[in-house]
Structure 1
Amino acid sequence: MKIAITGKGGVGKTTLAGMLARAFAADGRRVLAIDADPDANLASALGVPAEEGARLTPISKMKELAKERTGAGDGQGSLFRLNPTVSDLPERYGIEHKGVRLLQMGTVEQGGSGCVCPEHTIVKRLMKHLLLERDDVVIMDMEAGIEHLGRGTAESVDALVIVVEPGQRSMQTARQINALAGDIGIKNIFLVGSKIRDDADCRFISAAMPPVSLLGFISLSEEIRAADRDGESPFDGGGKARSEALKIKDILTSQLGRSGPAHEVGSNR
């Protein structure tokens, strides 16, 4: 099962990604969490201690590794392999916490449109490996877009989950992501409402973006704020946030288990 999670910055997508990864791991599944957001903080949302998270290096920053795997020489215009070996990278460069292996992708700064460098090549190849060639549950915390996905891998994403908060700007971003995802062939697109205060927030989100299937809601809570402040995962608190995440995980699993397109599931609040 391959799940990509995206949304406007600050809506709580990383919190959801961390809790879903922990929820699948609690079921005994082998889980690989991919931090594909340049503002990388999935480690904290998973509950990884700060000193452990500091050991992570984004794959995109490993210039020597990229040169070694692609056979690239020094200087611009050198030839290199476009299909490097990457199958060992999650185990070599990821860290494990409570049943979840975490890997940071990072971003590649390119000096012009159309530029392809060894670092870009290895990130692209690794993403394809994770989506096409591994049996893990893969949870990807994306940036506010789907730049890490292309037509060659999009069909292997079982679900794109767009996280929104009750506000027009968040919904506008969600509509743009929904359109882009459809353009590259992602079939199962879902919505999760975050930072929910009351039933009015639920109704706003439910009405704002049909016909995207709504998986459920994550409440705005002191529990989540405290976990973020303390560098812990809300999943470890055992409270309402954990319960809501488990419901979303169960509905998502049920939806993906159905044949044909997903159906509207409404509120689980």
Structure 2
Amino acid sequence: MRIAITGKGGVGKTTLAGMLARAFAAEGRRVLAIDADPDANLASALGVPAEAGARLTPISKMKELARERTGAGEGEGSLFRLNPTVSDLPERYGVEHEGVRLLQMGTVEQGGSGCVCPEHTLVKRLMKHLLLERDDVVIMDMEAGIEHLGRGTAESVDALVIVVEPGQRSMQTARQITALAGDIGIGNVFLVGSKIRDDADCRFISAAMPPASLLGFISLSDEIRAADRDGASPFDCDGKARSEALAIKDALTVEIGGRGSCRSASPR
């Protein structure tokens, strides 16, 4: 099962990504969490201890590794392999916590005309490997968009989950992402309402998007704020946030299974 999570900045997508990853791991699934947001915070949302999180280095920043795997020489214009070996990278450069292996992708800084450089090639090949060739449950925390997904890998994503808060700007972003997802072939697009205060917030989100696409809601709570402050995962608090995340995980599993696009993950 491959799940990409996105939404407007600040809506709580990383919180949801962390709790979903922990929820799948708690039922015995083998889970790979990919932090594909340049503002990488998924380690904290998973509850990864600070000292372990400090060992993470974004794959996109590993210039020597990129040159080694692609066979690139020094200087611009050198030839290099476009299909480097990457299958060992999650185990070598990820960290594991509570059954979830976390890998940071990072972004490749490019000039105005773009580039096809060793780092970009390595990241692109690794994304293809993670989404097409592994049997894990893959939870990908993305930036506000789907730039990490191209037409070659989009078809392997079982679900795109857009996290929204009760506001017009957040819903506008959700509509834009939904349209773009359709353009590149992502068929299963769902919504999760976040930072919910009351029934009026639920009604606003339900009215703004098709009800069939709504998986559930995450309440605005002191529990989540306290976990963020402490660098912990709300999933460990065993409170309302955990229950809401488990309900969303169950709804997502049913939706994907019912649409016939879910590939089962291997047990640990």
TM over 0.5: yes
Tell me which moved more, 113-122 or 235-244: 113-122
Secondary structure of the structure 2 residue equivalent to 1:187: coil
Residue 113 of structure 1 deviates from its aligned partner by 2.5
The residue type equivalent to 1:66 in the other structure is A
Q: In the alignment, is residue 59 of structure 1 matched against residue 59 of structure 2?
A: yes
Aligned to 2:144: 144
The 1-side partners of 2:27 and 2:171 are apart by: 32
Aligned to 1:167: 167
The 2-side partners of 1:208 and 1:259 are apart by: 23
1:131-172 deviations in whole A, cap 9, x for unaligned?
000000000000000000000000000000000000001011
1:171-195 deviations in whole A, cap 9, x for unaligned?
1111110000000000100000000
> Is the 1:33–1:139 contact (alpha carbons within 8 Å) kept by the matching residues of 2?
yes
The 1-side partners of 2:114 and 2:47 are apart by: 38
1:204-241 deviations in whole A, cap 9, x for unaligned?
00011226610000000000000000000000000000
Secondary structure of the structure 1 residue equivalent to 2:151: coil
Tell me which moved more, 207-216 or 57-66: 207-216
Aligned to 2:207: 207
The 1-side partners of 2:145 and 2:131 are apart by: 17
RMSD: 1.0
The residue type equivalent to 1:173 in the other structure is T
Percentage of identical aligned residues: 90
The 1-side partners of 2:145 and 2:121 are apart by: 20
The 2-side partners of 1:68 and 1:211 are apart by: 49
The residue type equivalent to 1:121 in the other structure is T
The residue type equivalent to 1:38 in the other structure is P
Q: In the alignment, is residue 245 of structure 1 matched against residue 245 of structure 2?
A: yes
The 2-side partners of 1:152 and 1:258 are apart by: 24
Aligned to 1:186: 186
The 1-side partners of 2:211 and 2:150 are apart by: 24
> Is the 1:191–1:212 contact (alpha carbons within 8 Å) kept by the matching residues of 2?
no
The residue type equivalent to 2:55 in the other structure is R
Aligned to 1:158: 158
Secondary structure of the structure 2 residue equivalent to 1:152: helix
Aligned to 1:129: 129
Aligned to 1:112: 112
Q: How many positions carry a matched residue from both structures? A: 261
The 1-side partners of 2:107 and 2:173 are apart by: 21
Residue 246 of structure 1 deviates from its aligned partner by 0.0
Secondary structure of the structure 1 residue equivalent to 2:155: helix
The 1-side partners of 2:223 and 2:86 are apart by: 39
| TM-score normalized by the length of structure 1 | 0.96
Change (3 A) 1:260 1:52: closer
The 1-side partners of 2:92 and 2:259 are apart by: 37
Aligned to 1:48: 48
Residue 51 of structure 1 deviates from its aligned partner by 1.1
Aligned to 1:96: 96
Secondary structure of the structure 1 residue equivalent to 2:110: coil
Residue 114 of structure 1 deviates from its aligned partner by 3.5
The 1-side partners of 2:45 and 2:75 are apart by: 39
The 1-side partners of 2:6 and 2:43 are apart by: 16
The 1-side partners of 2:259 and 2:161 are apart by: 18
Aligned to 1:255: 255
Aligned to 1:11: 11
5+ long unaligned stretches in structure 2: 262-268
Aligned to 1:264: none
Aligned to 2:266: none
> Is the 1:189–1:212 contact (alpha carbons within 8 Å) kept by the matching residues of 2?
no
The 1-side partners of 2:55 and 2:183 are apart by: 37
Structure 1 residue ranges (4+ consecutive) displaced by more than 6 angstroms after TM superposition: none
The 1-side partners of 2:123 and 2:75 are apart by: 20
The residue type equivalent to 1:169 in the other structure is R
